[in-house]
Structure 1
Amino acid sequence: MLKNKSYIGISFIILLFGIYAVPKIITRIQNGDVVKGERLDNVSNTQTNDGKLQKIGPAPKFELTDQNNKTITNADYKGKVYVLEFFFSTCPSICPIMNKSMIGIQNQFFGNPNFGIVSITIDPEHDTAEVLKAHAEALGVKSSNWHFLTGDKKYIYDLANKGFNLYAGENSKVNGGFEHSGLFALIDKNGNIRCRKDDYGNPILYYDGLEKAGVKAIQQDIAILLRE
């Protein structure tokens, strides 16, 4: 009799978990919020900040062309704190949310010469310098330190998937034809990837550009790095 009650109790707990968690998982999949890669499996929405940001390691080097047809490299951000993302201009799903988040970050630190943003397209065949310039203007970009970058597709995909391990891929079955993570990388003045820890003391690695909590967290941590 007691064993039967235990089974009933366990079944009830599993049912409650399914009711709470499964709809959230389905919603993120339907919204195109795709996060892949061993490094990204550790990204947590539960974040803490004790004022000491973790140093993950040097950010990958890059050399690409911006919206003004100017060659931009990681060296152009030396001495600057910057946020980096992968996106594409025709993205119908998560990019509009990411755009809004990044504009908010730009506005908070606008006028600070030691802060910048890097937006790298994962659809370089469409997103030429001219297209990216029009896209930046439509978004309301006003910072001279915000560069929208394009270049060779293989180079960009290697940079995303092997360099930063921020997933990006082509998929004809999804809306828009491309998948990417929606995460933002934070790089300090010395070119190192930095982040806060989660509640278990593990580095979160990257910040969720789709959630208010993630955007608030990266804004707080940008301010910390600017003071270093």
Structure 2
Amino acid sequence: MSTKKNNYSYIGIAFIILVFGIIFVPKIIDRIKGNDITRSESRSKDLTNNSEGYTSDLMYMNINGAPKKVPEFSFIDQNGNTITNKDYEGKVYVVEFFFTKCPTICPRMNRNLVQIQNTFLDFEDFGVASFTIDPENDTQETLKAYADNYGITNPNWHLMTGDQDTIYELANIGFNIYAGENPEVEGGFEHSGNFALIDKHGFMRSRQDNFGNPKIFYKGIISEDEKVDEDGETEEISMLKEDIAKLLKED
């Protein structure tokens, strides 16, 4: 008699599990597909150390399921100081790759960055990381003169030089921002005109695009005043400023 009761119990449990699977599993799958879980509920305390404070709606750039974090680096800046990624810990900062002899996009990029610098003059936890892709020419002295010429005054804006292969690896792999030599183009080097935005904990952040994915980068060439370029591309400096402000509010 007890054996029959046990069999009935097992049948009942199996039936409940089956009903649960039919009703709830599709709903869970739909939520995962809609990124409800991965974008909000899976944001761990260890990711930002800010679970009790303000966290903006800016997204993380994920590589193989993990948030993309700035790799370690160490270079010499325009003042002759050794600057590493640790010097930017606790700061929101913008990343660019450029070179001082650039005859095309770099002057426009850095004028835009100076404007951003001046917008956040009162914030000690804002900075810029500029890496030259022509370190043979861009010595410390050359970078210092360039900084003075452009009105770079933020003590957290470091124009850095060092080993070229290391810089190119940092650009192409570390930040996924293209940079390379090309003797056939004007200036001898080609690179992206994009900026990357980094939060206080070293994670790459951006707003989402129209498809719900992170934009990853911000166009750095077109100014706010221009609004659009000759190709009809819209400026993103105003967008970048808004997102810097959001990250500065995070702990």
Alignment partner, residue 26 of structure 2: none
Kindly indicate whether residue 220 of structure 2 is the aligned counterpart of residue 215 of structure 1: no
- Report deviation, 1:204: 0.6
Measured after TM superposition, the shift of residue 100 of structure 1 is 1.0
Choose from 130, 134, 157 the match for 1:119: 130
For residues 78 and 161 of structure 1, the distance between their equivalents in structure 2, rounded to whole angstroms, comes to 22
Query: Which amino acid in the other structure matches residue 142 of structure 2?
Result: V
User: What per-residue deviation string (whole Å, max 9, x for no partner) do you get for residues 160-203 of structure 1?
Assistant: 11111100010111000000001001000000000001112111
How far the C-alpha of 1:156 sits from its partner, in A, is 0.3
Gaps in structure 2 of 5+ consecutive residues = 1-55, 62-67, 225-234
Amino acid at match of 1:166: I
Q: Which has the larger radius of gyration?
A: 2
Question: Quick one: distance in 1 between partners of 2:148 and 2:248?
Answer: 27
- Which portions of structure 1, spanning 4 or more consecutive aligned residues, are displaced by more than 4 angstroms? none
Which amino acid is 2:206 matched to? Answer: C
Match of 1:45 in 2: none
Cα deviation code 1:118-143 (max 9, x no counterpart): 11000000000000000000001111
Aligned 1:33-112 pairs, distance under 5 A: 52-56=57-61, 57-112=68-123
Distance 1:111 1:53 in 2: 23
Structure 1 counterpart SS, 2:236: helix
Given residue 76 of structure 2, which amino acid in structure 1 is its aligned partner? Answer: T
Return the letter of the residue paired with 1:88: F
- After TM superposition, the structure 1 stretch with the greater mean CA deviation from structure 2, 122-131 or 200-209, is 200-209
2: CA distance, partners of 1:75 / 1:68 = 17
- Distance in 1 between the 2:146 and 2:122 partners? 21
Distance 1:116 1:67 in 2: 14
* TM superposition shift of 1:99: 1.0
Q: Residue 30 of structure 1 corresponds to which residue in structure 2? A: none
Structure 1 Cα separation of the partners of residues 174 and 151 of structure 2:
29
TM-score with structure 1 length normalisation?
Answer: 0.77
SS in structure 2 at match of 1:197: coil
Amino acid corresponding to residue 131 of structure 1 in structure 2: T
Give the corresponding residue for 2:231. none
Question: What does residue 13 of structure 1 align with?
Answer: none
Cα RMSD for the two superposed structures: 0.9
Alignment of 1:150-169 (within 5 A): 150-169=161-180
- Tell me by how many angstroms 1:111 deviates: 2.6
Partners in 2 of 1:217 and 1:187 — Cα distance? Answer: 15
User: Structure 1: which 5+ residue stretches go unaligned?
Assistant: 1-50
What is the deviation of 1:67? 0.5
Report the alpha carbon displacement of residue 114 of structure 1 after superposing the two structures with TM. 0.6
Which of 196, 204, 217 is equivalent to 1:206? 217
Q: TM-score, normalised by structure 2?
A: 0.70
Greater RCO between the two (CA within 8 Å, min separation 6)?
A: 1
What CA distance in whole angstroms lies between the structure 1 residues aligned with 2:207 and 2:102? 29
Q: CA deviation at 1:205?
A: 0.4
Distance in 1 (CA, whole Å) between partners of 2:176 and 2:72 is 13
Give the aligned length.
Answer: 178
CA distance in 1, matches of 2:148, 2:100: 12
Query: What is the letter of the counterpart of residue 143 of structure 2?
Result: L
